[in-house]
Structure 1
Amino acid sequence: MPTPGALLSTGSKHPQPRIEAIELSKIFRTDIGARPVLDRISFSVGPRDRLAILGRNGAGKSTLIQILSGCLKPTSGEVIRTMTMSWPLALGSQFEGMLTGYDNVRFISKLYNQNYDEIIDFVEDFTELGSHLNIQTRFYSSGMQMRLAFALSLAIDFDCMLIDEVLMVGDARFQRKCHIELFEKRANKTMIMAVHSAPFVTEFCNLALVLKNGRGRVFEDVKFATRIYATL
């Protein structure tokens, strides 16, 4: 999980709160040579923008999300952040496994200078994990870790929510609960989301970044973007 310093880094180029990716490239070094994943990706989002990142498996969506969060460094380029950003909501495995759910909440509360009592009240109610919060998170299922990560992200008042795939956690009732918290109660938040669902993009997003072969283009016409995505 990135540190608050990574999430709060700022630049002086933009007086208005923004998240800006400037010429981001990422090359992974492997045993069989260099593997370029992202090639000079640039975009900018401001308050209340909802950017969908579209691309087939292996297109670089998760890599881009991790670079934006500060979890991963780009090979070149930079990210300018003049608003606070959550950690990627799909990265529940970033919890310290030897700590209990309660201990992880206490750690995150201190890390982000939040009131622990207020945070834990929300986490207990939202996750519905009950006594499992007393258990080390290394024993959690992936769904339980996502519930905890999702609740902690919502409990802290981030300006921008970063989502690596739209989360489908638990049963239909809990999924609806997540949807209400994220897309109805926090309708004023900026969001950057790696997604696959074209109907979701057209309903909830006003911008779409389509990735293919490491390159990307941003579209304001999200319906047109989903049609391009369907042909990839």
Structure 2
Amino acid sequence: MIRFQQVSKRYPNGSVVARDVTADLPGNRCIALLGRNGAGKSSLLRMIAGSLRPDRGRISITGQVSWPVGFQGSFHPDLSGAQNVRFVGRIYGVDTDELLDFAMGFAALGRQIHHPVRTYSTGMKARLAFAVSMGIRFDTYLVDEVVSVGDAAFREKSEAVLIDRMSTSGAVVVSHSMPMLQRLCTAGAVLEGGNLTYYPNLNEAILVHERNLRTEPEPEGA
């Protein structure tokens, strides 16, 4: 369960992510997070993960929630990919050998796994970050456009492992691919004008989101 209690977040430029949001997102569902471009979906995931603090209110979480899946910012550039994987494994208390084996097999970086991360391309870092995320079992995964990374074969493999994880875990998923959301998710949440509304039925959430896209957004301060 992810519970928002009167949560507000506004950036200095005036853009609003959350406006006194009170809502519950069940922890055992795969939930598509829908909203306009710039609505604040990625920021909302970061607040759930704890890497971005709300201005007011509280977000309480039941179970262990992942960082936004695929996030690369925590990799130390001067450490090798393997060293970074082991470091993350120790932080989360998992078997570092098993995590490294999974990451090596999934990311398919070959010998580059033993080279400093600063030598990696953006795509290589993204593949490794996704592999590390999927190698740790969380109660709820936060997923932000991660399956758009890599070639078609890697995207297919990424979606397959996400579907496997969803058999025992929940997720909050942000993606511009509506077909992928329909394959992965059973429920939806719509972020519009700083308001977050949960819908147990994904199709209902999609209809509301599409209706919002056909209207002008409310002006700030409305």
Correspondences of 1:191-230 after superposition (within 5 Å) = 191-230=171-210
1:127, 1:61 → 2: CA distance? 26
Instruction: Give the letter for the 2:99 counterpart.
Output: I
Tell me what 2:44 maps to: 64
Q: How far, CA to CA, are the matches of 2:77 and 2:62 in structure 1? A: 31
Residue 139 (structure 1) aligned to one of 112, 119, 136: 119
1:154-193 paired onto structure 2 within 5 Å: 154-184=134-164, 186-193=166-173
Runs (5+) with no aligned partner, structure 1: 1-17
- Are residues 55 and 124 of structure 1, via their aligned partners in 2, closer, same or farther at CA, if it must alter by over 3 Å? same
- C-alpha contact 1:95 1:137 (8 A) present in aligned 2: yes
> Does the C-alpha gap of structure 1 residues 160 and 57 become closer, same or farther in structure 2, counting only changes over 3 Å?
same
**Number of residues of Structure 1 aligned to a counterpart in Structure 2:** 212
CA–CA separation in structure 2 for the residues paired with 1:184 and 1:208? 19
Kept in 2, the 8 Å contact 1:89–1:146? The answer is: no
| Range with bigger deviation, 40-49 or 84-93 | 40-49
- Structure 2, gaps ≥5 residues long: 214-222
Q: Distance in 2 between matches of 1:162 and 1:37?
A: 17
What is the aligned-residue RMSD (CA, Å)?
1.8
* 2:7 alignment partner AA: L
In structure 2, relative to structure 1, the CA distance for the partners of 1:203 and 1:104 (3 Å cut) is same
Residue from 107, 113, 120 that aligns with 2:87: 107
TM-score w.r.t. the length of structure 2 is: 0.88
1:26, 1:37 within 8 Å by CA — same for their partners in 2? Answer: yes
**Which residue does the alignment assign to 1:74?**
54
Tell me the CA shift for residue 137 of structure 1: 1.4
Q: State the shift of 1:184 in Å.
A: 2.9
Q: TM-score, normalised by structure 1?
A: 0.84
